[in-house]
Amino acid sequence: MEKTIKTVAKRIKHLSQKREILSHVLKKSDKKKITKFKVPIKKIDLDNLTICGVDGGFLKKEYHGAGIMLRRAVGACFRYEKNKLANVAYIPSIKPIPEPIIVGPEFSDMEFGQLASLKRVEKELLVTIVTIKKKDPDVVVLDGSIVPYPSNIPDKDSDVYCTYKYVLKLFRKLYQLCTKKKILLVGAVEDSRGCRYCKVLLKKAVPSLLKADIPKKFKTKIKENKDILNNTTDTLFLYYLLDVGERTAAISYTSKENIPGSKGLKKWTKAIHAIYIKAVPFDRPLRLDFLATKNIEKTADKIASIIWQISKHNRLYSYPSVLIEADARAKLTESEIAHFKAALNEKLGRNPSLFDLRREMRPF
């Protein structure tokens, strides 16, 4: 075991060193901004801004003949005056009653998981739309991406597909509403495992630097280590590349790539973009997806400035404070679904539909 641990540690250290070396060389060789792959985040005053964050709480449990879901979502709206938090409001309330959903046994395990994920997103989008109509914010921040996750896309012949189509419709409605009201729409992706930005660096930035008038030793280091960009996630590499208070250049979320589900967004497909910001010294960069039909870099500047201001309160953890508050109000505990099932049992008695799955009740 000790030998295995040493081997794994050596491998991780080797890959980390390659990331660190390449990022250092890229920064050194691009002092003349040949590629503009990163820029400083501008400081901004939050005075007179209303920033709303929306997050959801969700629980699911499968039984022999039924599936139970509990869901709720909360919009936390921060109002800033004189650059300080002056007021907090909650939509629909500070602690809404969870909404139960009961489904039959017709769904496979995979379909039940997809349905659960879509039902959570559906609730968050519905609450986001209500929040916008009631509070007319300047910025809306969602927990997660502002596009459907590929893992949530069911087959067209699945019973889940109609729910997926409705969720797509809600996304498009949200885009339209934010565009009409000139609201900045942002999705903060807590644990992004994307690698799109590294591909852009490998395809565009690296060739540009190798052709540029930079020291030969830099070109050698780039050639020796550029392969690491095929073996890393964006956040792992950008941890070294970005300094605190910097962001990446904006990249298109769907540019020339067959992103699953992007066709369902229709005309909005090309309006989805992404940046990474490094808000604090000892945490990974944070991915921000955003909506912009024009002035992409200008929009990215403003979003980065605002989200940086509300995400840098802990040196070890960077996440928008408005989403931390929304999560605290929306979160559900496991006991809540147990209580709901107990209430059903009181009405139904020993009904086989609510028998636990055998795999969860083995006596050995």
Asked if 122 contacts 170 with a C-beta cutoff of 8 angstroms, the reply is: yes
Asked if 187 contacts 274 with a C-beta cutoff of 8 angstroms, the reply is: no
From 363, 345, 348, 357, select the one nearest 64 (Cα to Cα).
357
Same domain, 270 and 327: yes
**Overall domain count for the chain:** 2
Asked if 251 contacts 201 with a C-beta cutoff of 8 angstroms, the reply is: no
From 267, 273, 263, select the one nearest 295 (Cα to Cα).
273
Residue 136: CB atoms within 10 A of its CB come to 12
Same domain, 8 and 151: no
The answer to whether residue 118 sits within a structural domain is yes
Q: What is the pLDDT of residue 103?
A: 85
CA–CA dist 316, 336 (Å, integer)? 31
The answer to whether residue 282 sits within a structural domain is yes
The answer to whether residue 180 sits within a structural domain is yes
Residue 156: domain span: 50-194+242-334
Same domain, 182 and 211: no
In order along its 364 residues, the chain shows pLDDT tens digits of 777 888 888 888 888 889 999 989 888 877 767 677 889 999 999 999 999 999 999 998 876 667 888 999 999 999 999 889 999 999 999 999 999 988 888 888 888 889 999 999 999 999 999 999 999 999 999 999 999 888 888 889 988 999 999 999 999 999 999 999 999 999 999 888 888 899 989 998 899 888 888 889 989 999 999 999 998 999 999 999 999 999 999 998 765 555 666 677 888 989 999 999 999 999 999 999 999 999 999 999 999 999 999 999 899 999 999 999 999 999 998 888 777 767 766 666 675 556 566 566 666 5
Same domain, 295 and 329: yes
CA–CA dist 341, 337 (Å, integer)? 6
As a 3-state breakdown, the chain gives helix, strand, coil percent values, each rounded to 5, of 50, 20, 30
pTM value > 0.75: yes
Same domain, 23 and 142: no
The answer to whether residue 165 sits within a structural domain is yes
The answer to whether residue 229 sits within a structural domain is no
The answer to whether residue 358 sits within a structural domain is no
Contacts of 209 (CB under 8 A, 6+ apart): 26, 29, 30, 34, 35, 218, 219, 222
Same domain, 18 and 79: no
Tokens of 226: 């550029």
Whether the upstream peptide bond of residue 92 has omega within 30° of 0, thus cis, is yes
> Alpha helices, DSSP H only, in the chain?
2-29, 109-135, 161-181, 196-200, 206-211, 216-225, 234-241, 296-309, 321-330, 334-348
Going from the C-alpha of 349 to that of each of 100, 237, 267, the distances in angstroms are: 19, 56, 52
- List of long-range contacts for 169-176, beta carbons under 8 Å, 24+ apart: 170/122, 170/125, 170/126, 170/129, 171/125, 171/146, 171/147, 171/265, 171/268, 172/265, 172/266, 172/268, 173/129, 174/125, 174/128, 174/129, 174/132, 174/146, 175/265, 175/268, 175/271, 175/291
Asked if 239 contacts 285 with a C-beta cutoff of 8 angstroms, the reply is: yes
CA torsion 316→319→325→329, rounded to 10°?
-100
Q: What is the pLDDT of residue 86?
A: 95
Asked if 143 contacts 321 with a C-beta cutoff of 8 angstroms, the reply is: no
Asked if 203 contacts 175 with a C-beta cutoff of 8 angstroms, the reply is: no
Same domain, 130 and 179: yes
The answer to whether residue 353 sits within a structural domain is no
Tokens of 354: 């609510």
Same domain, 283 and 324: yes
CA–chain centroid gap for 362, Å, is 37
Q: What is the pLDDT of residue 170?
A: 97
Same domain, 213 and 303: no
Q: What is the pLDDT of residue 258?
A: 55
User: For the domain that residue 74 is a member of, what is the CATH number?
Assistant: 3.30.2170
Q: What is the pLDDT of residue 253?
A: 77
Same domain, 180 and 298: yes
Q: What is the pLDDT of residue 34?
A: 67
CA torsion 288→151→77→175, rounded to 10°?
80
Same domain, 96 and 183: yes
Q: What is the pLDDT of residue 356?
A: 66
The answer to whether residue 257 sits within a structural domain is yes
Same domain, 25 and 131: no
DSSP character string of 145-179: -SS--GGG---TTSTTHHHHHHHHHHHHHHHHHHH
